[in-house]
Amino acid sequence: MTIEIDGSVLIILGAIFCARIIDVSIGTLRIIFLTRGMKYLAALLGFVESLVWIIAISQVMKNVNSWSAYLVFAGGFASGNIVGIWLEEKIALGTLIVRIITRFEADDLVKALRGTGCGVTNLDACGEQGPVMVLFTIVRRKKLPAVIALIRKYNPNAFYTVEDVRFASATAVDLATTRRPFALRRPFKLRK
């Protein structure tokens, strides 16, 4: 048994698949921008996302008796999730807090992190097995691989966590970026 598919049907199925990849990818980015407080960009992406979705679903409805249209619609959705997450990783927007806990001296790691322009706060603490040092640094997402590489180089047994930061005051943001969107107007001083 062979199934013959007309060339125009293949074009329609390809268009449905591509439209779903586009609209779901945009939807993934829209949600990420929304959680980061970028409401106007999220609204614009929401408009484009819904427009592309309407186009895709209208093609499925025109071909309501075609199981292949259903399958490419669902396949485009699944693929769009992967593409959206990949795009978000490449864009790497946002700020992260990296918390490092180590049982060993961390002076070299602190110097290395500060040498890359990262601000570091270090605290002496007590863990389950005795004294530990806790380091905090806030970095742009694009710098995370470099920070993790430094942690692994200077203290490969350190425990670290990475969390998204929705907002950070200008005094806590990595000021070593070229754009300096949060740069201070005057030096920060501790109050007594």
Give the domain extent around 58.
7-91
- For residue 141, what pLDDT is reported? 85
Please indicate, yes or no, if residue 48 is contained in any of the structural domains.
yes
Q: What is the CATH number of the domain that holds 117?
A: 3.30.70.120
Residue scoring higher pLDDT (94 or 13): 13
- For residue 187, what pLDDT is reported? 45
How many domains are contained in the chain? 2
The model's pLDDT over 124-165, given as tens digits with 9 standing for 90+, comes to 898 888 889 999 999 888 889 999 999 999 998 899 999 988
Q: How far apart are CA 136 and CA 134, in angstroms?
A: 7
Enumerate residues 6+ apart whose C-beta is below 8 A from 133: 101, 102, 103, 104, 105, 106, 122, 123, 124, 125
For the question of whether the overall pTM of this predicted structure is more than 0.75, the answer is: no
- Which one of 59, 76, 91 terminates a domain? 91
Average pLDDT, the chain: 82
Q: Are 122 and 79 part of one and the same domain?
A: no
Please indicate, yes or no, if residue 30 is contained in any of the structural domains.
yes
Q: Are 103 and 87 part of one and the same domain?
A: no
Please indicate, yes or no, if residue 118 is contained in any of the structural domains.
yes
Q: Are 60 and 80 part of one and the same domain?
A: yes
The model's pLDDT over 62-104, given as tens digits with 9 standing for 90+, comes to 877 888 888 999 999 999 999 998 998 888 777 889 999 998 8
